[in-house]
Structure 1
Amino acid sequence: MKALGLDIGSSTIKGAVLNLDQGAIGASVSVPFPAPDPGLPPGWFEVSPEGIETAVRNVLQALLEQVSSPVGLYVSGQMGGVLVVDHDGRPLSNYISWRDQRSLQPLSDAGRNVLDEIRARWDDRLFSSLGNELQAGSTTALLFWLTQRQLLPSRGIPVSVGDYVVGRLCGQQPAMHVTHAIGLLDLAAVDWHRTALAQLGLDSVALPALATEIQSRGWAHIAGRRFPVCGAYGDQQCALRGAGLSRGELSLNISTGSQVSQRVDRFLPGNYQTRMYFDGDWLNTVTHLPAGRSLNALVDLLTELAGAEGVALRDPWGYLIRQAADIPHTDLEVDLAFFAGPLGYGGRISGITTENLTAGHLFHAAFRQMADNYARCAAWLDPDRSATAIVLSGGMTRSNPLLRRLIAERFPQLLRESDGEETLLGLLDLARSATAAV
């Protein structure tokens, strides 16, 4: 018995055949996630919804050449951002990505930005009941920005990019699974937080139906095949499910961005964010920690001159990782907070000398700061250090032994590293659980 898995990521849209009997990932197809529209103001990041849908259909058509009768399609997607649709699921806006930074720009002559204005309207108790979720590219921040400028389409329904895709495949109005509704839920009641939305003037916004179970949202018809579609589910939660995260363990997911997370069986607010997980659990997490996206900014700096001369470097990442590993210690300091996050906004490089201003020292210092960040945030989630294991996922530590060693030096617990495409493995596990329950 085979199903299809589809992950709508920030860099790629990847699909795979899910072999439910063997519990394995089969043939896969990947295409780049569409580029943002050109000519946007600085800090804006919008993508054509039609381009996203076309890319998804191309992936699915290629997969259907590998499997004749899939029992279903399971979809995960990048979290945050917003796409506004009508009651038939047709797009009324571009997809405004979670990478969009417009909410950090001044909202008025007073100099306050969107995030400042929202926090001024929400007291600490209310903010805590939402899971302390508010980022530059969060759905709440972007909806507030749109309403303040009267740009939210009338009768429009805000959804995630994954929800939009599911709605288009099924030809109907999308719903939203609780794993995607970050910063919008009363986490104690597991329902839309109407009070919080009303305080932002969003009480008249038409919200999608809220889903809590793993179930079909409708039927897709592609290449002469008809199959049910389940999702979309949050890609963070799917990745952690694929990594096998259990209660009592800490997760370090390190990829384009990174997060420190802990799965729990009750809602306990704290100095962290909280999201819904699967099976009635919650996920305490610290997100938007610097990782691959910030490291790529350093790589771009170091390769700029070569690119200007038309020289294509064969393997800059491999070279930088090797050089960093050859440095036993560095007094160079790097702060990777090039993008807004819980540890600040505004990166820096300091302690520079003629001896340590090298690529190896630079990246050793960057990897060390990442490990320090994870230890610092883990203490917020697990102050008594009772976690039984540290689960590494995201792939970066598999190709970077130095980063893995630096992390191991900061955590006394057993390190367990997942292997494979965690998000697709999470979809595989969801599919197996759903079909077993039928």
Structure 2
Amino acid sequence: MKSIGIDIGTTTICGIVLDIQTGRVLQSKTISNSASLPGSCSYERLQDPELIIRAVFRIYEGFTAKYQDIVSLGLTGQMHGIVYTDQAGQAASPLYTWLDERGNQAMEDGQTYAETLSAKTGYPMATGFGMATHYWHTLHHSIPSNAVSFCTIQDYAAMRLTSLAAPLVHVSDAASFGCCRMDHHGFDTQVLQAAGIDTGLLPAVTADMRIMGVTADQIPVSVSIGDNQASFIGSVQDMEHTVLVNVGTGSQISLGTDQITPCSGIELRPCAGGTYLFAGSCLCGGRAYAALEQFFRECAEMVTGSPAERVYSQMDQLLCTRRPSGKLKVDTRFAGTREAPSLTGSVSSLTLETFHPADFIYGVLDGIAGELFDYYQLICRSKGMPAQKMVGSGNGIRMNRNLQRILREKFQMDLSIPCHQEEASYGAALFSVVSAGYYPSLADAQKIIRYIDVNF
């Protein structure tokens, strides 16, 4: 028996076919998400939902044409962003992605829309959060006239696959919009109404692991879940005692809990089966290392007069042959943080001894790991106990043995990496398998996850 998992990312859309007995990924398909739309304003970051749906159906139909015993389908994708839907269950707007900057635009009093909504509701908000985007449209009277609800792009894909007219949003996605009550697993309608938001457009929310409908081929489709939660589910076998470190374009650290425990500077996100995730998110992560690589290429072009090829392999090799002192300190918050967008990175302890490429390479990698470790320490203090295991995911970790070593040294734990690379798609498939009743619990389903030993 097999399950399909599809992850609708900002730049790619990935699908897998999972053997639910062995845990093996039988087929993987990743295509470019080329649905970006030009905005009328510089702060807009939009995508065409119909182009995304066509890509999802292309992946789905390719899998179903090849495999006959598919028992479930799970979806995940980019959190925070929203698409408005009409009465027939069709898109009534573009997808306003999590990168959309309208929430950071200043209002007449100088505060941003996100800051104003935070002050009015008491919930921390940031630009790109669905409720901040919805608040902007509310004040600008630009909500589509035929809109009856809104949801994430993965919720919209689930609607289209099951021919449903109304979205059903899992609490893991609903919380990413903002103004969601953890204890009630739903939106805080009282504070939203007080802020002037029409709560009649809010989608229905569920905390259950459930099937929301079936495809035309009668394949059960589970409610969609957030990509952070899906990656966590698809990477760890023990959610409460394993810390997941992910380094991609950004970076993130996640650790499970069964308690609603506030943690300053850390998001507490609903997960599945009555569990929650502490999540610390860094905006720069792998982007910091990519920026350094681009800087080296620009230096090479300055010297040679010709564009340089990528130099990631040379950077990795340099650290393998020359171990720097580690004295150069790099703060890699080059894109600020969600709480402080204007924050900048920095370089300190720069001396004649440390002014060398290897020191900068090590300093950036150590800065990436250090920002994650700072979040981890906050989580441990709130949780009251450290993690027992560490799992790494994302290409930033998979493809960089030096970062693997630095993480092990920083966290003082061995590092495991899942055998499969499509962690979010894998987690969505596992979630759907449990929702369809083929495993009694997520913990049972997660036992099929296998790991690569990267400790040396």
Q: TM-score, normalised by structure 1?
A: 0.88
Does 2:365 align with 1:367?
A: yes
Q: Does 1:350 align with 2:344?
A: no
1:144-202 superposed Cα distances (whole Å, 9 cap, x missing partner): 11112111224431200101111122222221011111223210121221123223222
Going from structure 1 to structure 2, the CA distance change for 1:426 and 1:65 (only over 3 Å counts) comes to same
Single out whichever of 87-96 and 426-435 deviates more from structure 2: 426-435
Of all paired residues, the percent bearing the same amino acid is 25
- 1:41 aligned to 2:38? no
What is the match of residue 437 of structure 2?
Answer: 435
1:379 and 1:385 in contact (8 A); partners too:
no
- The match for 1:18 is 18
Q: Distance in 2 between matches of 1:258 and 1:204?
A: 33
Equivalent runs, 1:30-429 vs 2, <5 Å: 30-38=30-38, 40-108=40-108, 110-123=109-122, 127=123, 132=124, 134-154=125-145, 155-172=147-164, 173-182=166-175, 183-221=178-216, 225-244=217-236, 245-271=238-264, 272-303=266-297, 311=307, 313=309, 315-325=310-320, 326-342=322-338, 344-345=340-341, 346-351=343-348, 359-383=357-381, 386-420=386-420, 421-429=422-430
Aligned-pair CA distance for 1:103: 1.5
Unpaired runs of 5+ residues, structure 1, are none
Shift of 1:402: 1.7
Shift of 1:255: 1.8
For residue 22 of structure 1, report the CA deviation from its aligned partner. Answer: 2.5
| Distance in 2 separating the partners of 1:113 and 1:321 | 41
* CA distance 1:143–1:343, change in 2 (3 Å): closer
* Per-residue deviation, 1:105: 2.2
Change in CA separation of 1:36 and 1:416 when aligned onto 2, cut-off 3 Å: same
Alpha-carbon separation, structure 2, partners of 1:201 and 1:246: 38
CA RMSD of aligned residues (A): 2.6
Structure 1's 42 and 329: CA in aligned 2 closer, same or farther, altered over 3 A? farther
Using the TM superposition, name which of 43-52 and 327-336 deviates more. 327-336
- Which whole-Å CA distance do the structure 2 matches of 1:203 and 1:174 have between them? 17
CA separation of 1:166/1:14 partners in 2, compared to 1, >3 Å: closer, same or farther?
Answer: same
CA distance in 2, matches of 1:332, 1:343: 26
Matches of 1:286 and 1:196 in 2, distance apart? 26
Q: What is the CA deviation profile of residues 23-62 of structure 1, one whole-angstrom value per residue up to 9, with x for unaligned ones?
A: 2211111101124223553332101111111111222222
Q: Quick one: distance in 1 between partners of 2:423 and 2:229? A: 10
Q: Which digits, 9 at most, give the CA deviation of each residue in 1:363-421, with x for residues without a partner?
A: 32211111111121111110255322223222422321221222222223444333322
> 2 CA distance for matches of 1:194 and 1:218?
27
For the 8 Å contact 2:121–2:179, the answer to whether it is kept is: no
The aligned amino acid for 2:259 is: R
Q: Where do 5+ consecutive residues of structure 2 fail to align?
A: 441-456
* Aligned residues of 1:249 and 1:391 also touching (Cα < 8 A): yes
Amino acid at match of 1:285: A
What is the rounded CA distance, in whole Å, between the counterparts of 2:41 and 2:330 in structure 1? 29
Alpha-carbon deviation of 1:357? Answer: 5.5
Partner SS, residue 322 of structure 1: helix
1:321-367 CA-to-partner distances (Å, cap 9, x unmatched) read 33345341355443332334257434344356677565543332211
Q: When the two structures are superposed, what TM-score results if normalisation uses the length of structure 2?
A: 0.85
Secondary structure of the residue aligned to 1:256 is coil
Shift of 1:437: 5.3
Whole-Å separation in 1 of the counterparts to 2:328 and 2:210: 51
In structure 2, relative to structure 1, the CA distance for the partners of 1:301 and 1:412 (3 Å cut) is closer
Contact 1:387 1:413 in 2 (8 A): no
Distance 1:203 1:344 in 2: 29
SS in 2 for 1:136: coil
Structure 2 letter corresponding to 1:176: V
In 2, Cα distance between equivalents of 1:413 and 1:144: 43
CA offset digits 1:251-270 (Å, max 9, x no partner): 22222222222211121112
> Any conservation in 2 of the 1:256–1:293 contact (CA below 8 Å)?
yes
Opposite residue 347 of structure 2, the aligned amino acid is S
Measure how far apart 1:296 and its partner are. Answer: 3.1
Report how many residues are paired.
425
Q: Deviations over 1:242-297 (max 9, x none)?
A: 11242133222222222222211121112121111111111122224421234334
